[in-house]
Amino acid sequence: MEFLKYLPWIILAIVIIAIILSCLVVVPQAHAYIIERLGVYSATWEAGLKLKLPIIERIVRRISLKEQVSDFEPQPVITKDNVTMQIDSVVYWQIFDAKMFTYGVERPIAAIENLCATTLRNIIGELTLDETLTSRDIINSRITKILDDATDKWGIKINRVEVKNIMPPTAIKEAMEKQMKAEREKREKILQAEGEKQAQITTAEGEREAAILRADAVKEKRIREAEGEAQALLAVQKANADAIRLLNEAGASDKVIALKSLEALTSVANGTATKIIIPSELQNLGGAIPTIKELLSNDKK
């Protein structure tokens, strides 16, 4: 009975504790909560433990402050040279002001998508097909700047925009493939011609070096042959000179010396030498030959 006496107070305490616990709010990291008091913006809660007034205050929106990625559907665009193509884009964006994001625009993702599509059409309309296919970096940077400036009032920061796919019409794609094939064949023929040219140059250089080596070999052979003949002639002349010197030392007469010189000259003429150097002592030997013959006949008698 005594327990029943305190039961209303216990129930009241439980209700108060439950209300207090329901008013305690934990805001996760990289998130922000928008709080309204009696329907009017009151505060922006960042990460941490917060206490909300019951009934009076309410959480209007829970917002993630992380970088987010939105992949939009392909959009039809027309180039400067009147080619219609499909282009899809990817937008990387982040909320930097939760209040402006909440009250600045209705359906912000749809607003970014529409703004991206119109900006993309304006930029591609100033470019030709070839410029569009080769200027992705320029297109990305221009879209990023335009979207970032336009979304500042929404509390959104556009970090970057990437053009993911550029899809030209089928006929244009086939023509581009044929052009690429022709370019590849052209490069192949150029490389083949360069290879043949280099091979011919290498062959010509090899033949020239071989001809030079052959000429050097012939030249070396002739030099050595001439040196050999000269050395042989010098050896014969040295032997002749030594013989005459020995005859002089033995006291031989001039006629005997002339005869020996003539015999040495005859042996030289019978050799392989093409040139014969006649010593000055033998140049006047023509008139002495009959005398030599007489001496030889007298000796035989």
Structure tokens at 9: 């107070």
Q: Say what the pLDDT of residue 4 is.
A: 67
Compute the distance between CA of residue 45 and CA of residue 85 in angstroms, rounded to an integer: 46
Confidence of residue 282 (pLDDT cuts 50, 70, 90): very low
Compute the distance between CA of residue 108 and CA of residue 155 in angstroms, rounded to an integer: 10
Residue type, 10: I
194, burial (CB in 10 Å: exposed 0-12, middle 13-18, buried 19+): exposed
Q: Say what the pLDDT of residue 36 is.
A: 92
Instruction: Tell me what the mean pLDDT of segment 92-101 comes to.
Output: 93
Is the pLDDT at 1 greater than 60? The verdict is no
Structure tokens at 31: 């998130």
Compute the distance between CA of residue 102 and CA of residue 194 in angstroms, rounded to an integer: 67
pLDDT, one tens digit per residue, over 5-31 is 677 777 888 888 887 777 888 899 999
Structure tokens at 10: 């216990």
Q: Which of 85-99, 224-238, 245-259 has the lowest mean pLDDT?
A: 245-259
26 φ, ψ to 5°?
Answer: -105, 120
Is the pLDDT at 159 greater than 90? The verdict is yes
Instruction: Tell me what the mean pLDDT of segment 258-269 comes to.
Output: 57
pLDDT, one tens digit per residue, over 170-223 is 777 777 777 778 888 888 889 888 888 888 898 888 888 888 888 888 888 888
Q: Inter-axis angle of helices 254-269 and 170-250, to 10 degrees?
A: 160
Q: Which residues pair with 78 in a beta bridge?
A: 84
Portions of the chain given CATH number 3.30.479.30 = 68-168
CATH homologous superfamily for the domain 68-168: Band 7 domain (3.30.479.30)
Instruction: Tell me what the mean pLDDT of segment 142-167 comes to.
Output: 91
Is the pLDDT at 117 greater than 60? The verdict is yes
Q: pLDDT higher for 296 or 188?
A: 188
pLDDT, one tens digit per residue, over 140-154 is 999 999 999 999 999
If one counts every other C-beta atom within 10 angstroms of the C-beta of residue 265, the result is: 19
- The pTM (predicted TM-score) of the whole model is 0.56
Q: Say what the pLDDT of residue 9 is.
A: 78
Which sign does the torsion angle of CA 175, 177, 183, 185 carry? Answer: negative
- Residue pair 59/33 in contact (Cβ under 8 Å)? The answer is yes
Q: Which residues pair with 50 in a beta bridge?
A: 25
Beta strands (DSSP E) in the chain are 24-27, 31-37, 40-45, 48-51, 57-64, 68-71, 75-78, 84-95, 156-167
